[in-house]
Amino acid sequence: MRVALVHDWLTGMRGGEKVLEVFCELFPDATLYTLVHVAGTTSPTIESRPIRTAFTQKLPKASSLYRWYLPLHPWAIGSLRIDDVDLVLSSSHCVAKSIRAPKGALHICYCHTPMRYVWDRFEDYFGSGVKAKLLYGPVASRLRHWDKATADRVDTYIANSNYVAERIERYYGRESAVIPPPVDTDFFVPGNTDAPPYFLIVSALVPYKRVDLAIDAFRGRKEELRIVGAGPDAARLKSSAPDNVRFLGWVDPSALRELYQGCRACLLPGVEDFGIVPLEAQASGAPVVAFGYGGALDTVRDGETGVLFQEQTVPALSRAIDKVSSLRLNKKSMRDWALGFSRETFRGRMQAFIEATIADSAR
């Protein structure tokens, strides 16, 4: 079977690229189409295949400014011409789902989320000031129209969570299957540590992640909060943080695993489309305290692998932190839950779904 893979951009190994990596293993002969490729920023499995890029690859400083070329992305994805194939498998959180498949080809889209930039998180990405609204408001409006108008270029949608499935139905009017993305449960494992009690956040430092909520919850607490991550909100967060909050920046995978293993709980105060972090923590034997909305409803079992809180307020988060500290949670139970999201489980579910979808389309 001739297959083409499509991904928005290749600029690092985040959750979307870990999904793509499995797609590359499933279809080792497939050509990969993308808007921008920064060589060496993804895994050898991805880098080793033929990669075709759009005209955005040649724009000034495309490797760092590709997000700011958002108004051009519809034209860029439209400029990519896929060779004659039987299956197009796109991995999309921006415009990859809108690529035109060759006539007769089946297009399956694994949708990480409909475009957050233009649907429901405009201000998180572009700000709420007059300049942002004047410059990008009209662009966002046009992109919303285009995004919905091109939704039917996909034959079958897969969502990474029930929350994203609801968003696909709301914005595109389409149903989707739900297959959670893979977690590296072979790497993230429980371990022994003598670290003093601390709580952990692993997150990009941007406003919608609500790291500020966790910082405020630790004012006056004796425990330490360690924050792994970086981003445009770092300076503001650091300026207001009490002494028991430590900012570690991004750390290497081995250091992150040790932090998961040693923490009393991993905190997720924002809303995630899915969220790999809670499952990496549980695979490492750490419970999770998460806002009970969005992807956390799929990844955290309240009272069994962590605690869900229902209001994004300091008192609600503080009560949840106290509650998780009082629970006697079993590390094996947390890990067993996380194993249901393993890489091999994802690979098997994707392969079975693709085969079944191809068979149905042939009838």
- With cut-offs at 50, 70 and 90, classify the pLDDT of residue 197: confident
pLDDT at 311 over 60: yes
126 and 213 fall within a common domain: no
99 and 157 fall within a common domain: yes
- In a domain? residue 187: no
- With cut-offs at 50, 70 and 90, classify the pLDDT of residue 289: very high
- In a domain? residue 283: yes
Q: Total domain count for the chain? A: 2
Report the DSSP beta bridge partners of residue 6.
Answer: 33, 90
Average pLDDT of the residues in 252-270: 96
Exposure pattern of 219-253 as b/e (b: 16+ CB <10 Å)?
eeeeebbbbbbeeebbeebeeebeebbebbeeeee
pLDDT at 63 over 90: no
Contact 114, 30 (CB under 8 A): no
202 and 266 fall within a common domain: yes
27 and 159 fall within a common domain: yes
pLDDT the model gives residue 208: 87
262 and 146 fall within a common domain: no
pLDDT the model gives residue 121: 63
pLDDT the model gives residue 125: 55
**How far apart, in whole angstroms, are the C-alpha atoms of residue 91 and residue 88?**
10
45 and 151 fall within a common domain: yes
Instruction: Tell which wins on pLDDT, 328 or 52.
Output: 52
Report the DSSP beta bridge partners of residue 245.
Answer: 225
**How far apart, in whole angstroms, are the C-alpha atoms of residue 325 and residue 29?**
49
- With cut-offs at 50, 70 and 90, classify the pLDDT of residue 43: very high
**How far apart, in whole angstroms, are the C-alpha atoms of residue 131 and residue 224?**
39
Average pLDDT of the residues in 159-176: 96
- With cut-offs at 50, 70 and 90, classify the pLDDT of residue 135: low
The CATH number for 175's domain is 3.40.50
User: Considering the chain, what percentage of its residues have pLDDT values greater than 90?
Assistant: 80
- In a domain? residue 155: yes
- In a domain? residue 189: no
Percent composition of the chain: helix, strand, coil (DSSP 3-state, to 5): 45, 20, 40
pLDDT the model gives residue 130: 61
- What DSSP letter does each residue of 212-276 carry, written as one string? HHHHHHTTT-SSEEEEE---TTHHHHHHH--TTEEEEES--HHHHHHHHHH-SEEEE-S--SS-S
**How far apart, in whole angstroms, are the C-alpha atoms of residue 277 and residue 318?**
20
Structural domain containing residue 8: 3-182+342-362
Cβ of 1: how many Cβ atoms within 10 Å? 11
pLDDT at 134 over 70: no
Query: Using the 8-state DSSP alphabet, how is residue 207 labeled?
Result: G
pLDDT the model gives residue 263: 95
Q: Is the dihedral of CA 257, 263, 269, 271 positive or negative?
A: positive
Average pLDDT of the residues in 137-141: 76
Computed on alpha carbons and rounded to an integer, the radius of gyration of the chain in Å comes to 21
Exposure pattern of 107-133 as b/e (b: 16+ CB <10 Å)?
bbbbbbbbbbbbbbbbeebbeeeeeee
The three-class DSSP label of residue 63 is: helix
10 and 136 fall within a common domain: yes
pLDDT at 93 over 80: yes
User: Lowest-pLDDT range, 91-105, 116-130, 140-154, 161-175?
Assistant: 116-130
The CATH number for 290's domain is 3.40.50.2000
150 and 161 fall within a common domain: yes
- In a domain? residue 94: yes
313 and 285 fall within a common domain: yes
Helices and strands in the chain, H and E counts: 15, 15
- In a domain? residue 243: yes
pLDDT at 95 over 90: yes
Contact 230, 205 (CB under 8 A): yes
pLDDT at 97 over 80: yes
Contact 227, 251 (CB under 8 A): no
**How far apart, in whole angstroms, are the C-alpha atoms of residue 207 and residue 340?**
31
21 and 138 fall within a common domain: yes
Enclosing H/E stretch for 90: strand 87-92
- In a domain? residue 192: no
Query: Residue 215, CB half-sphere, CA atoms under 13 Å: how many?
Result: 21
69 and 142 fall within a common domain: yes
pLDDT the model gives residue 362: 74
pTM of the shown model: 0.90
- In a domain? residue 224: yes
142 and 204 fall within a common domain: no
Average pLDDT of the residues in 5-26: 94
